[in-house]
Amino acid sequence: MITSVLVANRGEIACRIARTCRDLGIATVAVHSDADAGALHARVADTAVRLPGSAPADTYLRGDLIVKAALAAGADAVHPGYGFLSENADFARAVRDAGLVWIGPPPEAIEAMASKTRAKQLMGVAPLTDVTEADLPVLVKAAAGGGGRGMRVVRALADLDAEIAAARAEAASAFGDGEVFVEPYLENGRHVEVQVLADTHGTVWALGTRDCSLQRRHQKVIEEAPAPGLTDALTGELHTLAVRAARAVGYVGAGTVEFLVAGERAHFLEMNTRLQVEHPVTEEVFGVDLVAEQIRVAEGHALDPEPPAPRGHAVEARLYAEDPAHDWAPQTGRLHRLAVPGAVRLDTGYTDGDDIGVHYDPMLAKVVAHAPTRAEAVRKLAAALERAVIHGPVTNRDLLVRSLRHEEFTRARMDTGFYDRHLPALTAPAADPYAALAAALSDAHGRSRFGGWRNVPSQPQVKRYAVNGEEHKVRYRHTRTGLAADGVTVVHADAALVILEADGVHRRYEVARYGDRVHVGSTALTALPRFPAPEADHAPGSLLAPMPGTVVRIAEGVTEGAAVEAGRPLLWLEAMKMQHKITAPTAGTLTTLHAREGQQVELGTLLAVVEETP
Return phi, psi of residue 117, to 5°.
-65, -45
Are 567 and 517 in contact by the 8 Å Cβ rule? The answer is no
The alpha-helical segments, DSSP class H, found in 52-137 are 63-73, 89-97, 107-114, 116-122
C-alpha span between 607 and 431 (Å, rounded):
32
The rounded distance, in Å, linking the Cα atoms of 275 and 488 is 53
Helix (H, G, I), strand (E, B) or coil at 16: helix
Instruction: Label the pairing between strands 313-320 and 219-225.
Output: antiparallel
User: Which helix H or strand E contains 241, and what residues bound it?
Assistant: helix 232-248
Q: Which H helix or E strand runs over 389?
A: strand 389-391
Give the Cα separation of 60 and 6 in Å (integer).
12
Instruction: Count other Cβ atoms within 10 Å, centred on residue 603.
Output: 16
Instruction: Name the amino acid, one letter, at 260.
Output: L
d(CA 407, CA 503): 30
Distance CA 140, CA 131 (A): 11
Q: Which of the residues 10, 149, 152, 274 is marked catalytic?
A: 274
Give the DSSP H/E element, type plus range, for residue 235: helix 232-248
Rounded distance between C-alpha atoms, residue 557 and residue 564, angstroms: 10
Query: Is 16 designated active site?
Result: no
Q: Using an 8 Å Cβ cutoff, are 280 and 314 in contact?
A: yes
Three-class SS of residue 570?
strand
CB neighbour list of residue 245: distance below 8 Å, 6 or more residues apart: 113, 119, 122, 123, 196, 251, 257, 268, 271
Select from 126, 113, 121 the least CA-distant residue to 247: 113
Preceding amide of 137 cis, omega within 30: yes
Is the separation of the CB atoms in 321 and 330 below 8 Å?
yes
Tell me if 135 sits within 8 A of 111, measured CB to CB.
no
CA distance 273 to 266: 20
* Three-class secondary structure assignment of 479-498: ECCEEEECCEEEEEECCCEE
β-bridge partners, 569? 583
Rounded-to-integer distance, Cα 311 and Cα 373, Å: 9
Strand (E) positions, 486-597? Answer: 489-493, 497-502, 505-514, 517-520, 523-528, 542-544, 549-554, 563-564, 569-575, 578-583, 588-593
Alpha carbon distances (Å) from 422 to 93, 206, 394: 45, 33, 20
Query: DSSP states of 394-457 as a string?
Result: --SHHHHHHHHTSHHHHTT---TTHHHHHHHHHTS----TTHHHHHHHHHHTTGGGGTT--SS-
Which residues are catalytic, by number?
274
